[in-house]
A and B are shown apart, each in its own frame.
Chain A
């Protein structure tokens, strides 16, 4: 009896291990493709492979990808996240070399379908296209900024703007580090820069999402 159950477990595990071995590579390829797609979406046209690196801002490590065209740096695709309504919202934010946000895309989110989950739709997300943080204010209109919040989803909209803001802080840290080193090898090594005000602000989550 026990032997039989043991046999069932053994066969099942063997089968699982086999399928795991077979699908391991496609899963990695799918994940890589997803990252590459996200990068291609948020930065202007580039050639060659994006160079992966991390930078530390205010004690937290942020992964980013540097892209260049014909040897000249085009910009960075920066991964940043903030606390939304249903959990973390992770974005890929593309910032060009003139410190203008080229585009943003959502890597993962767990917002309410029909409400906060609309942050992936162009109606909201396109507001961040070609956004110049020097010209416009990166917060929702309710807080005196220039971003139209999603209907009934202020927390999500705030979180999105916050993540983009964090990405700008990360960009500043990257370019500061790059100006200290030779421009050619700016993409190596982890650099520590302290930037204020990029932790998530938890004080006013009082209204509906």
Chain B
């Protein structure tokens, strides 16, 4: 039951893009075409889940025992950068077709604040799923990270679909490009507000 709450909350209610504002750069940058949005979402999904797993273990088995929690930010960003690099190398060797689909997005992901954001969230915030406030355990963290990245993908793909439609229409000159995209995002965020109170 608790896992279902986490999933619904992370995908719809607290959508990482539309209510937490993390990962806005790729959201605005690579959402022109549906196909690139799908590729980016896939890559982010993979990296967020993997990065959360590794940083979670690193936090509780290295930083906390050594009492160097203050190295958290620096350690996490290095882990994420190294992971992204590794995923890129492995993917290139193991599955060239997948690499071609996701490869160009991988370097961009290091500076996607959703990745670092989720990794930090699970080790610093208390969550309230199922009653008392508590820190997430490993399984919950992974589920939370995966669901959050699904929420990222959902918002991203919906948004790309909308932008493809907008591109066919006449937009006032001053609004061309980013402003009309932001207005669209605003309306999409309003739609997602309808989910609030669900969990």
* A208 and B197 contacting across the interface, CB-CB below 8 Å: yes
Known A81-B133, A202-B131, A207-B197: A87·B70 in contact at CB below 8 Å: no
Q: Taking chain B's interface residues, is the majority helix, strand, or loop, or is none over half, making it mixed? A: loop
Known A88-B126, A155-B197: A13·B74 in contact at CB below 8 Å: yes
- A-B interface contact total, Cβ < 8 Å: 39
* B70 and A20 contacting across the interface, CB-CB below 8 Å: yes
B151 to chain A, nearest CB (A): 16
Does A165 count as interface, using CB distance less than 8 angstroms?
Answer: no
With A and B bound together, what is the CA distance between A130 and B74 in angstroms? 48
Q: Which residues of chain B from 78 to 130 have a CB within 8 Å of any chain A CB? A: 78, 125-128, 130
Within 8 Å CB of B199, what residues of A?
205
Within 8 Å CB of A138, what residues of B?
none
With A and B bound together, what is the CA distance between A205 and B199 in angstroms? 7
Q: Which residue of B lies closest to A199 (CB)?
A: B131
* B128 and A83 contacting across the interface, CB-CB below 8 Å: yes
A31 to chain B, nearest CB (A): 15
* B70 and A206 contacting across the interface, CB-CB below 8 Å: no
* B71 and A83 contacting across the interface, CB-CB below 8 Å: no
Known A12-B74, A13-B71: A199·B197 in contact at CB below 8 Å: no
Does B196 count as interface, using CB distance less than 8 angstroms?
Answer: yes
Neighbour of A88 across the interface among B74, B130, B133, CB < 8 A: B133
* B74 and A202 contacting across the interface, CB-CB below 8 Å: no
Interface residues on A, range: 20 to 34
Does A190 count as interface, using CB distance less than 8 angstroms?
Answer: no
Does A16 count as interface, using CB distance less than 8 angstroms?
Answer: yes
Known A20-B70, A87-B133: A209·B196 in contact at CB below 8 Å: yes
**Chain A 1-40 interface mask (CB, 8 Å, partner B; 1/0):** 0000000010011001000100000000000000000000
* B71 and A87 contacting across the interface, CB-CB below 8 Å: no
B65 to chain A, nearest CB (A): 17
Q: Which residues of chain A from 36 to 90 have a CB within 8 Å of any chain B CB? A: 60, 81, 83-84, 87-88
* A83 and B197 contacting across the interface, CB-CB below 8 Å: no
With A and B bound together, what is the CA distance between A88 and B131 in angstroms? 10
* B196 and A88 contacting across the interface, CB-CB below 8 Å: no
Within 8 Å CB of B132, what residues of A?
60, 83, 199-200
* A87 and B197 contacting across the interface, CB-CB below 8 Å: no
With A and B bound together, what is the CA distance between A13 and B72 in angstroms? 11
B74 to chain A, nearest CB (A): 7
Q: Which residues of chain B from 140 to 199 have a CB within 8 Å of any chain A CB? A: 196-197, 199
Within 8 Å CB of A88, what residues of B?
126, 128, 133
With A and B bound together, what is the CA distance between A199 and B130 in angstroms? 11
Within 8 Å CB of B125, what residues of A?
87, 110
Within 8 Å CB of B131, what residues of A?
83, 199-200, 202
Within 8 Å CB of A9, what residues of B?
78
> What would 7 A/B residue contacts be, using CB atoms closer than 8 Å?
A9-B78, A83-B131, A83-B132, A84-B128, A87-B127, A87-B128, A155-B197
Given contacts A84-B128, A206-B197, 19 further A-B contacts (CB under 8 A): A9-B78, A13-B71, A16-B71, A16-B74, A83-B128, A83-B133, A87-B125, A87-B126, A87-B127, A87-B133, A88-B126, A155-B197, A200-B131, A200-B132, A202-B130, A202-B131, A205-B199, A208-B196, A209-B196
The 6 closest A-B pairs by CB, nearest first: A88-B133, A83-B128, A208-B197, A20-B70, A88-B126, A200-B131
Interface set of B (CB-CB < 8 Å, partner A): 70-71, 74, 78, 125-128, 130-133, 196-197, 199
Interface set of A (CB-CB < 8 Å, partner B): 9, 12-13, 16, 20, 60, 81, 83-84, 87-88, 110, 155, 199-200, 202, 205-209
